[in-house]
């Protein structure tokens, strides 16, 4: 019997098959080499692990003739769990090892070896050839003080300067040129634009925001996103539901916003505008929002935040069906002071995140194992894992990654 599957389901089937093979290869490797690197310091052992995994003979079960996006057998469940992870990488060998664990995306950190963007045989093109399945490549490139590897990509002005010197149409073209450069170097996802409204004079936001006016911020953010998307790069709006009025920097501490009513009135209008005009993904920040959820959990781990995002239940809001990322789960004390990485990953996916993001991969395998175990135990509903994996594959499909 022939079963017709959606393009996303077929892509996920290939992804799961590749992930299952990678997992089986590592499991059969020499125990000394199975302790593969999860940090830059271990990049030498990554090379030996890669060599071992490329020569080990394994037998992988072919995907069953069913909608794999909705199936849950043990190997496929773990592969789906791995496919949600977006993890920072240090260099080619580090990136290759992490992709062999089945992660759905790599994040080009500020400390990553530039060879990933430049050097034939050691760059993203080479990674794609070696891995043989789709994966996303993300970067933080807003312009101004947040633009990673700008000596390669080409520097851009800050959001505030864009809005002060350009029309929205000019910003769209400016972002299109940036997107072309990013795509040329292998990047498919940009964690930009910032939709935060510079309301409290926080240094962490400041000139990263387009404006102190929510509606101006929304119009310019939407224009920037359209430019990236036209170049084939997925824009990621951040930091939902809004960092501009928070009490501090979530890199350094747990920060609290004003009550949810003020957040809805002042911080969410940019999302109503931008999500209504242009496609893309959303990054959820680590702020605590009084009156939203339990009032103590960071928004990135709080189910009420994702319910608000998905429903569009705020003035002018629209239901959001795209990928929801967390902010960095390893580099920000608003999370790391209270949760280990495996705990944070499980809490984020259970709450509604599709892609947990972490810049440090030191506990990558433990995080995958924890999410897999949480689904098996029923702590994370299997449907929640399926929905997240399906969205991730749809985004990969639409970006041509």
Which string of DSSP letters, residue by residue, matches 242-257? Answer: --TT-SS-TTTS--BP
DSSP string, 323-359: -EEEPPSSS-HHHHTT--HHHHHHHHHHHT-SB-EES
- Predicted pLDDT at 73: 54
Query: How far is residue 72's CA from residue 121's CA, in Å, rounded to a whole number?
Result: 36
**Residue 62 covered by a domain:** no
The boundaries of the domain holding residue 339 are 85-364
Report the largest interatomic distance among the alpha carbons of the chain, rounded to a whole angstrom. 63
For residue 204, the tally of other CB atoms under 10 A from its CB is 16
Comparison of pLDDT for 30 and 197, the residue scoring more: 197
What is residue 103's three-state secondary structure?
coil
**Residue 279 covered by a domain:** yes
Among this protein's residues, is 327 annotated catalytic?
A: yes
**Residue 44 covered by a domain:** no
Give me the chain's average pLDDT, please: 85
Among this protein's residues, is 251 annotated catalytic?
A: yes
pLDDT at position 230 over 80: yes
Average pLDDT over residues 66-88: 76
Q: What does the pLDDT look like over 345-382, one tens digit per residue?
A: 999 999 999 999 999 878 999 999 999 999 999 999 99
Report the number of distinct structural domains present in the chain.
1
Which residue is listed with tokens 């929801």? 324
Instruction: For residue 302, give the CATH number of its domain.
Output: 3.20.20.300
Range of weakest confidence among 55-64, 113-122, 153-162, 340-349: 55-64
- Predicted pLDDT at 179: 98
pLDDT at position 25 over 50: no
Q: Which residue, 189, 185, 190, is CA-closest to 117? A: 185
**Residue 396 covered by a domain:** no
Comparison of pLDDT for 27 and 298, the residue scoring more: 298
**Distance from the Cα of residue 39 to its chain's centroid:** 19
Q: What does the pLDDT look like over 256-276, one tens digit per residue?
A: 999 999 999 999 999 999 998
- Predicted pLDDT at 140: 96
**Residue 275 covered by a domain:** yes
Of 251, 266, 369, 387, catalytic: 251
- Read off the pLDDT band of 91 (50, 70, 90): very high
**Residue 16 covered by a domain:** no
**Residue 153 covered by a domain:** yes
Output helix, strand, coil percentages for the chain, rounded to the nearest 5.
50, 10, 40
Of 327, 354, 372, 386, catalytic: 327
**Residue 191 covered by a domain:** yes
């Amino acid at each position: 019997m022939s079963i017709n599957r959606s393009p996303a389901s077929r892509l996920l089937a290939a992804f799961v098959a590749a992930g299952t093979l990678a997992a089986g290869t590592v499991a059969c490797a020499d125990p000394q080499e199975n302790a593969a690197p999860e940090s830059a310091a271990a990049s030498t052992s990554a090379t030996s692990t890669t060599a071992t995994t490329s020569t080990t003979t394994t037998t992988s079960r072919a995907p069953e003739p069913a909608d794999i996006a909705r199936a849950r057998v043990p190997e496929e469940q773990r592969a789906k769990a791995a496919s949600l992870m977006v993890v920072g990488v240090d260099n080619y060998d580090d990136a290759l090892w992490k992709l062999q664990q089945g992660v759905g995306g790599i994040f080009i950190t500020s400390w990553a070896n530039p060879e990933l963007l430049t050097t034939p045989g050691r760059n993203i093109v080479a990674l794609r050839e070696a891995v043989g399945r789709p994966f996303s490549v993300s970067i933080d490139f807003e312009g101004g003080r947040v633009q990673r590897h700008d000596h390669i990509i080409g520097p851009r002005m800050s959001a505030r300067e864009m809005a002060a010197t350009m029309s929205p149409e000019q910003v769209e073209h400016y972002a299109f040129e940036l997107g072309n450069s990013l795509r040329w170097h292998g990047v498919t996802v940009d964690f930009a634009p910032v939709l935060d409204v510079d309301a409290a004079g926080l240094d962490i936001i400041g000139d990263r925001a387009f404006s102190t006016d929510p509606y101006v911020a929304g119009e310019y953010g939407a224009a920037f996103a359209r430019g990236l998307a036209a170049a084939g790069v997925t824009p990621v709006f951040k930091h939902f539901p809004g960092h501009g009025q928070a009490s501090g920097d979530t890199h350094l501490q747990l920060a609290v916003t004003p009550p949810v009513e003020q957040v809805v009135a002042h911080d969410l209008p940019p999302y109503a505008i931008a999500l209504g005009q242009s496609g893309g993904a959303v990054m959820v920040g680590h702020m605590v929002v009084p009156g939203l959820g339990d009032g103590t959990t960071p928004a990135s781990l709080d189910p009420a935040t994702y319910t608000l995002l998905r429903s569009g239940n705020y003035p002018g809001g629209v239901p959001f069906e795209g990928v929801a990322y967390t902010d960095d789960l390893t580099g920000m004390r608003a999370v790391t002071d209270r949760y280990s990485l495996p705990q944070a990953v499980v809490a984020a996916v259970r709450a509604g995140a599709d892609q947990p993001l972490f810049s440090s991969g030191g506990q990558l395998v433990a995080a995958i194992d924890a999410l897999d175990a949480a689904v098996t135990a029923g702590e994370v509903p299997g449907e929640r894992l399926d929905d997240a994996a399906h969205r991730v594959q749809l985004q990969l499909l639409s970006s041509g990654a």
